[in-house]
Amino acid sequence: MRWLLIAALLVALAGCGDDDELVVSAASSLTEPLTTCSGDDVKLAFGGSDELAAQIRQGVKPDVYAAANMELPNELYEEGLLEEPLTFAFNELVIAVPDGSEITAVGALARPGVKLAIGAETVPVGSYTRAALSRLPPEQERKILGNVRSEEPDVKGVVGKLTQGAADAGFVYRTDLVDGLKAVALPQRLQPNVAYGAAAVKGAGDDARRYLASLNGGACAEALRAAGFGTP
Amino acid sequence: MRSAWFGIATGVALAAALAFLTLPVVAIFVDSPPADLISALGEEGALDALWLSLKTTAAALAIIVVVGTPAAYLLATRRFPARALVITLVELPLVLPPAVAGIALLAALGPSLTFTTGAVVVALTFVASPFYLRQAQAAFASVDRSWLEASRTLGASEARTFARVAIPTAVPGLMAGGALALGRALGEFGATLMFAGSLQGVTQTAPLAIYQRFSTDFDAALALSAVLVAVSAAILLTAKLFGGWDAADRR
């Protein structure tokens, strides 16, 4: 039945695609640097890394997949859907608070009445957040998780709830901070290793490999550094 | 010859519409065996989401009917300046993208309501009420004027005429409007996420729970979708049984 449906949609959509375009599915936290460094012939599709991975599992075929963690590309590689992934960037998980906020340390998030917005467990930023909190004393972790008011499907949702003044604090990547928000750094012992992995999708052409080379030391690597990412 | 050609063309168009509209829904059930459906519902969070969806949708519908019925009656039975403008304004949410509705609610009602179940009800009411208002207005407009006048001539007050003559006559149309609004509220996604957020048991309605499961557990997302399809179909069927939905068919 699924094939029938896909066939029907393909017939309906025939002619909409352009074979010359390189399609890159990328984590939404990569929006700014990849938009800067990619040429006109590259079509960028941003979304939650998990959502993009689910699309690839359902048969969607971009040429390159760039995720906000290594787990998802590694899983897809083991499932035979991707070529071998490489680590191309690093990020830092921080507590984001509005400019005038009095929150200066992770401990303050456990206070009663603090409203937190975090990523859902299913997106990388959400699992990094839970990993970081799990290194706190259990009592403190429990109190902080009890202050969570929303589990957003991607980083942009967390940032939006903060800039709107709905949430008092949230966990985001350092590169996601916007005007009006400031970062409270996490202690080193809580900091998860936020590594970004990318790979060519099985069956992609040479232009996919050229794009990966640009991510790994080319123009896109420069754009990533300019946007505040670490690169290998 | 010409009419034969036209008959075939309309038949093909209907077949294409039917296939396109039913195939994705059928695929949900084909892809999710009944056993998976039941086990997915046992999963923590799925029932919470469904229950929250039903509660918030019922609350929104109650508000819509209580406020919308007299408002639609006024729009249908009175001529006043700027009436066309008022009708256009109350219908505006029909054509607003849900993301715009979410932003607009945040801008208007501020963050104080965000993260509460009340915010979900507000979002559902905002996006669903025009569906009811439109149908209710049409239903009241098609009530025979002479009945309303007879009621007044016989000494019934304006309110009594509304309650005893206009509403009972318009019931099929009101039911149809209620079913449409209910369906729209049950499926609301974008405005809820932006305005209310997403937290299990508080603001995470069934569509939001489906979206969260889509990435990690496609089978659970399918199962929850199947339940939502079944609930929506039951609502549609109820509306038809009570005689509302296809009133236009029989006229």
Asked if the structure places residue B16 within a domain, the reply is no
Considering the domain boundaries, does residue B250 fall inside one?
no
Region B184-213: mean pLDDT is 92
Residue B112, in any domain of the structure:
yes
Task: Provide the Cα torsion B122, B127, B129, B134; round to 10°.
Answer: 170
Q: Is the pLDDT of residue B88 over 80?
A: yes
Domain count, chain B: 1
Question: What range does the domain containing B56 cover?
Answer: 36-245
Interatomic CA distance for residues B49 and B55, integer angstroms: 10
Asked if residue B164 is part of any domain, the answer here is yes
Residue whose C-alpha is closest to residue B169's, from B195, B196, B151: B151
Closest CA to A95 of A123, A64, A116: A116
Question: In CATH terms, is domain A2-90+194-226 a member of 3.40.190.10?
Answer: yes
Neighbours of A15 (CB within 10 A): 7
Residues of chain A contacting residue B110, judged by C-beta atoms under 8 Å apart: 165
Residues 6 or more apart from A121 whose CB is under 8 A from it? A127, A130, A151
Q: What is the 8-class DSSP label of residue A192?
A: -
Q: Chain B: give the shortest CA distance to residue A9, in Å.
A: 9
Residue range B91-147, pLDDT digits in tens: 999 999 988 999 899 889 878 899 999 999 999 999 999 999 999 999 999 998 888
Query: Is A51 within 8 Å of B110 when comparing Cβ atoms?
Result: no
CB pairs under 8 A between A and B: 76
* Each residue's pLDDT tens digit, A105-160: 999 999 999 999 999 988 889 999 999 999 999 999 999 999 999 999 888 899 99
Q: Is B203 on the interface with A (CB under 8 A)?
A: yes
Contact with chain A for residue B31, Cβ under 8 A:
yes
Q: For residue B19, is it within any domain?
A: no
Nearest CA to A145 among A158, A157, A133?
A133
Q: How far apart are CA B221 and CA B28, in angstroms?
A: 10
Written as one letter, the residue type at B248 is A
Within 10 Å of residue A226's Cβ, how many Cβ atoms?
12
Band (pLDDT 50/70/90 cuts) for residue A3 is low
Question: CATH assignment of A93-185, given 3.30.450.30, 3.40.720.10, 3.40.190.10, 3.20.20.150?
Answer: 3.40.190.10
Of B93, B32, B77, nearest to B230 by C-alpha is B32
Contact (CB<8Å) A165/B110: yes
Distance from CA of A34 to the nearest CA of B (A): 23
Whether B193 contacts chain A with CB within 8 A: yes
A89 alpha-carbon distance from chain centroid: 12
Give the closest-approach CA distance of A173 to chain B in angstroms: 20
Domain with CATH 3.40.190.10 in chain A: 2-90+194-226, 93-185
pLDDT-derived band of residue A19, with 50, 70 and 90 as boundaries?
A: low
CB distance from B62 to chain A under 8 Å?
A: no
Contact yes or no for A82/A29 (Cβ under 8 A): no
CA separation for the pair B131, B176 (Å, rounded): 9
Residue B195: closest CA among chain A residues belongs to which residue?
A161
| Mean per-residue pLDDT, A216-223 | 91
- What's the predicted TM-score (pTM) here? 0.81
Alpha carbons within 13 angstroms on the beta-carbon side of residue A116 total 26
Apex A77 CA angle, A69 and A228, nearest 5: 25
Residues of A with CB under 8 A from a CB of B: 1-2, 4-5, 8, 48, 50-51, 53-54, 57-58, 115, 117, 120, 122-123, 148-153, 157, 160-161, 164-167
Nearest residue of chain B to residue A119 (CA atoms): B198
Whole-angstrom distance, CA of residue B167 vs CA of residue B203: 34
More confident residue, A25 or B42: A25
- CATH number, domain at B237? 1.10.3720.10
The DSSP secondary-structure symbol of A136 reads: S
Res A137: pLDDT: 95
Question: Is residue A199 within 8 Å of residue A82, measured between CB atoms?
Answer: yes
Interface probe for B, chosen from A2, A3, A5 (most Cβ of B below 10 Å), is: A5
Whether A198 and A65 have beta carbons less than 8 Å apart is answered as yes
Q: Which residues pair with A82 in a beta bridge?
A: A201
**Distance linking the first and last C-alpha atoms of chain A:** 45
Q: Is residue B159 part of a domain?
A: yes
A218 phi and psi, to 5 degrees? Answer: -100, -150
Distance CA A174, CA A94 (A): 6
Q: State whether residue B48 sits within 8 Å of chain A by CB.
A: no
